[in-house]
Structure formats: C-alpha cells, structure tokens
Structure 1
Amino acid sequence: MNKFKEKIQNGEAVLGTFIELNNPAIGQIAGMAGYDFVILDGEHGEIAVEDAADLARAAALAGTAAIFRVNANDTTLIGKVLDCGADGVEIPEIGSAAEAQKAINGAKFTPEGERGCNRFVQAGEYGRMTSDQFFGESNAKTIVVLQVEGQDGVNNLPEILKVKGTDVVFIGPYDLSASLGVPGQTEHPKVLEQIDKILAMGKEQGVAIGLYVDSIESAIAWKKRGVQYLALQTDTVSLYQHFKANTDKFHAE
C-alpha cells in the first residue's frame, strides 16, 4: 500500500492541487513543494489520457501521488489511466450508489471489480511485476475518489458512502449549498452543519471526505473540522496569483 493511501486510512489530512496544464514539471514541482497529491485534470484541463503516463512519472519522481480525474464514469477509461501509472482515479458526476459501483468496477480487478487485466504497462512496471504481485496488490494500492455532484448525489450520499472500495467522497460545496437552498453560500451554517453530518457518515463507513478550497486558510479550517482530502486551487490560479501579486507591487512603487 502506498504512503498516501496509508495517510488517508490513518485519518490524516492530505493537501493537493489540481493540475490543468499539460506539463510534467508542474506536478513534479508541486511534489517538491510538499503537496501530498496532485489531481491531473482530464475533465476540464488540457490533459489527455495519453499524457497520463508522463505526468504520473513526474509526480512519482517527487514522491507525490498522482490522481487522474477522468471526464466520465467510463470503466475502460478508468482502467486506462490506472494502467498508465496513476496512483488513483477521481470520477465525476456520481449521483447514486449504482454509479459509484460502476466506478469501482472500473478501478478494481476481480473479485472486487471488473478492471481489464494487463500487467505489461507502466503500472505493472512493463512486465517486471509478476501476475501475483500486480493483480494481487493493485486493488489495495489504488485510490478511488468519487466526486459527488448535484442534488441527487447529495441526497444519495448515505448509500454512496456504503459502496465498498471507495477511499474518498469528494463533495462539491457549491452543489451542497444549492441543495440546502443557500446557493453559493458555502460558509452558511446550514452548509457547515451538513458537512459535519457527512463527516460523521464517512467516519462510520471508513470513507474520507474531500473538498475543493480556494485558500490555504480555508484548507486549514476544513482540516480542523475533519476533512481529510483537500484540493487547494489549481496550478493556473496559483501561478496567476503569484504573478499578479508581483506585478501589482512593482507598478505600485
């Protein structure tokens, strides 16, 4: 089992960021800076499935986990990015227990799922790993993050959390606020109360809860409330904000 997954299972909080730009160096730099994981954004970013192998290699060089966010709950696609060496997969648009199970089926080998078998890929060290090593260890090592979105997903959370094989349920705070009648008010007492309930449900089922956050202050605040998987901004936003702060300060003098 990898160290990142051990941290999750031990109840520790981990910090990561979304990678939108298709450059292996960015994930490597994030790892060198101390991020626990990077989310290679194949849903909204400039990253194609074919790029997964090089980006996963770069993250591994820096000792950070590479989670690939696919653009659909497609079992073949999920298996493909894991074959390319991603440590885990993040699947969007999960709205029911059935959709959650479909995602697990794509990420896990039998008997836990239906992932296609091929050890002659980066994940299997191109055949250096034996069948017993690769197929025997992959299920335990693979990280599965289910991105629960929309009101159906929020309403069906108790059932989704019970799906075996789920490591993290990633909640969209804006979807959650909308489902509670306070759209966009992610710090509203109703939202905070609901997340506390979700955290309790996750703890009961042994599933970590994740959130996207806009600032490190927000990440720390949610960490203190018990959120474990914290995705802070994106590479593009972080780069822009750093550049903008420098230019603003320069031109103000």
Structure 2
Amino acid sequence: MTPAVPARTLKQKFAADGHAFGPMVIEFFTPGMAAIAAAAGADFVLYDMEHSGAEIGDIKEQCAAARGLGIAPLVRVPSGEYHFVARALDAGAEGIMVPMVESAAHAAEIVSFAHYPPKGRRGAAFGVAHDGYRGGDPVAKIAAANGRTLIIPQIETKTGLEAVEDIAAVDGVDIVWVGHFDLTNFLGIPAAFDHPDYEAALARVLAAADANGKPAGFMAADEAWAEAYYRRGFRAIAYGLDHLLFQKALAGGLSLLNGLAAATPARG
C-alpha cells in the first residue's frame, strides 16, 4: 500500500496557485469542523494549541476528521520544542505553526524536528495516524512526509522581526507569518495597527518573504482585514476565529430579532 496523502498537498497548492485560505479554530473542536470548513471552500483549517484548551488527542481527532476532504489540517503548537512539533505531525497535521520564533537557528531547529533524516531528526513511527495506519515502504513514507510538511514560524517579537530576513532564508521554512497582536505588544505599541512602526514591520516581513520566494501569512479577523492584508501582499490568510465568526453571526441575527420585537406592539 502507498501512504495516505491528499491528491494535492497544501504545499503543492501554494506552488501552483500562490495562495491558500482557511479558518483558525480555537474553540469549537467538533467532529464536523473540517467538513464545515471544506464545504465553505477552505484550503486548510488552522487548529490552535497555544491559546486554547486543545490537547494532542483533540488534534488527532480533528486531523482524522479532515482525511479525504481535500483540506489540510495545520496546527499551531504551544512552542517549538520537539515533543510538540513531532507529536502534532504524528497525529496527522500537514503543517506546524510555531509562535515567537526569534532566530534562524531556532527556525532551523524546528525544521529538523519536523523532518525525517537526512533532512532532520524526527523520530520514526509508521502505520500510525500521519500515514493513515497503512503499511508500505518506509522510504516512500519518509519522502512523502518530508515533501508535504509545512513549517510556519511566527514573527511576533522585536527580536524575531530583527532576524526575519535570516528566518525567511532558512531551508525548510515555508511561510513567514506575522503575529500582529503580539508584534505590536513587543514593539511597545499595543494594538496600534496604524502606527508607523507596525507598518514598517509589515513591510519588512513581506520583503523578507518575497526575497526568499515564500508566502507571508496573517490572521484576518474580518472581511475588511482580509481584503486589506491580501492587497498588501499576504497570501496565506487565516480568515477569522471560529468563535468570533459564530458570535458575530449570532449577534447580527439577535439584533434583527430584537429590533423586530421592539417595533412590534405587545399582545395584551
């Protein structure tokens, strides 16, 4: 048997189309989430482990639910230690996002954790979740896994920004992602997304990504942000957080109903 891999990996989609979009999930780790996102037209689902209560078992279930749907499960791990990176990949993640990467050496270490030898030092476990519990040639499985795995360092500290050119140049780094809230915090301008220092930081990240032929990534909270950052040059965009999308839609509907109720005479 051959390894279970999608007809086109997310890495191949970026190479062919130059972009990919999908939601970020931080709250609703439900069995249908991947199917819901796929039906909406998403290319990936980015599952968060940094700020959510998700454990590795939750991630394994979500990756299993994504199989066969043509949608890539990505995971933001809590940090770049080996056990976070390798376990998420073994659970079936197609790519790993790592917060607060601050040097080329840090990025290269994460790349090594995510790839089998000779490219890296990921430990071997086959016939498990990441290869669909199938048998087959381990050499072919290693090549398939190394070829599809995406590595996404987040640039969200002043130190990381100062090293972004070196980080973007690391072989094995696939997407350079701005962590915008943290970046403004570490620049001393919390949530000042119109500040010249933030604008300059965005330009520097985009230039570093472009110089190395890699997409720049961003999490857009709403349609206005999605359009604005796409136009800036970001091509890997997580559109919305699951709970905020639900809350916004719910608030809109309830506001409509409450307005109708207020305009309707009460029945005696």
TM over 0.5: yes
1:4 aligned partner, one-letter code: L
1:211 aligned partner, one-letter code: F
Q: Give the counterpart of 1:35 among 21, 39, 42.
A: 42
User: What is the CA–CA distance in structure 2 between the aligned matches of 1:140 and 1:126, rounded to whole Å?
Assistant: 19
User: What is the CA–CA distance in structure 2 between the aligned matches of 1:157 and 1:245, rounded to whole Å?
Assistant: 40
Residue 8 of structure 2: aligned partner: 2
Residue 147 of structure 2: aligned partner: 140
User: What is the CA-CA distance between 1:177 and the residue it aligns to?
Assistant: 3.6
User: What is the CA-CA distance between 1:28 and the residue it aligns to?
Assistant: 1.9
User: What is the CA-CA distance between 1:83 and the residue it aligns to?
Assistant: 1.1
User: What is the CA-CA distance between 1:135 and the residue it aligns to?
Assistant: 0.7
User: What is the CA-CA distance between 1:10 and the residue it aligns to?
Assistant: 3.9
Q: Where does 1:206-245 land on structure 2 (aligned, <5 Å)?
A: 206-245=213-252
User: What is the CA-CA distance between 1:234 and the residue it aligns to?
Assistant: 1.0
Residue 168 of structure 2: aligned partner: 161
User: What is the CA-CA distance between 1:63 and the residue it aligns to?
Assistant: 1.9
Residue 187 of structure 1: aligned partner: 194
User: What is the CA–CA distance in structure 1 between the aligned matches of 2:136 and 2:39, rounded to whole Å?
Assistant: 28
* Consecutive unaligned residues in structure 1, runs of 5 or more: none
Flag the 1:149–1:190 CA change in 2: closer, same or farther, 3 A: closer
* Consecutive unaligned residues in structure 2, runs of 5 or more: 1-6, 261-268
User: What is the CA-CA distance between 1:192 and the residue it aligns to?
Assistant: 3.1
Residue 45 of structure 1: aligned partner: 52
Flag the 1:71–1:178 CA change in 2: closer, same or farther, 3 A: closer
Which piece of structure 1 moves more, 2-11 or 116-125?
Answer: 2-11
What fraction of aligned residue pairs are identical, expressed as a percent? 26
Q: Note if contact 2:221-2:241 (Cα within 8 Å) is conserved in structure 1.
A: no
User: What is the CA-CA distance between 1:189 and the residue it aligns to?
Assistant: 4.5
SS across alignment from 1:212: strand
User: What is the CA-CA distance between 1:219 and the residue it aligns to?
Assistant: 1.0
Q: Give the counterpart of 1:115 among 111, 122, 127.
A: 122
1:139 aligned partner, one-letter code: N
Question: How large is the RMSD of aligned CA atoms in angstroms?
Answer: 1.9
Between Structure 1 and Structure 2, whose CA radius of gyration is higher?
Answer: 2
SS across alignment from 1:126: coil
Q: Note if contact 1:210-1:230 (Cα within 8 Å) is conserved in structure 2.
A: yes
User: What is the CA–CA distance in structure 1 between the aligned matches of 2:72 and 2:84, rounded to whole Å?
Assistant: 19
User: What is the CA-CA distance between 1:210 and the residue it aligns to?
Assistant: 0.6
Residue 102 of structure 1: aligned partner: 109
Aligned length: 253
Q: Note if contact 2:220-2:239 (Cα within 8 Å) is conserved in structure 1.
A: yes
Residue 12 of structure 1: aligned partner: 18
User: What is the CA–CA distance in structure 2 between the aligned matches of 1:51 and 1:129, rounded to whole Å?
Assistant: 27
Flag the 1:46–1:129 CA change in 2: closer, same or farther, 3 A: farther
| Length-normalised TM-score, structure 2 | 0.87
| Length-normalised TM-score, structure 1 | 0.92
Q: Note if contact 1:28-1:61 (Cα within 8 Å) is conserved in structure 2.
A: no
SS across alignment from 1:230: strand
SS across alignment from 1:146: strand
User: What is the CA-CA distance between 1:163 and the residue it aligns to?
Assistant: 1.3
1:236 aligned partner, one-letter code: H
Residue 4 of structure 2: aligned partner: none
SS across alignment from 1:117: coil
User: What is the CA–CA distance in structure 2 between the aligned matches of 1:243 and 1:183, rounded to whole Å?
Assistant: 29
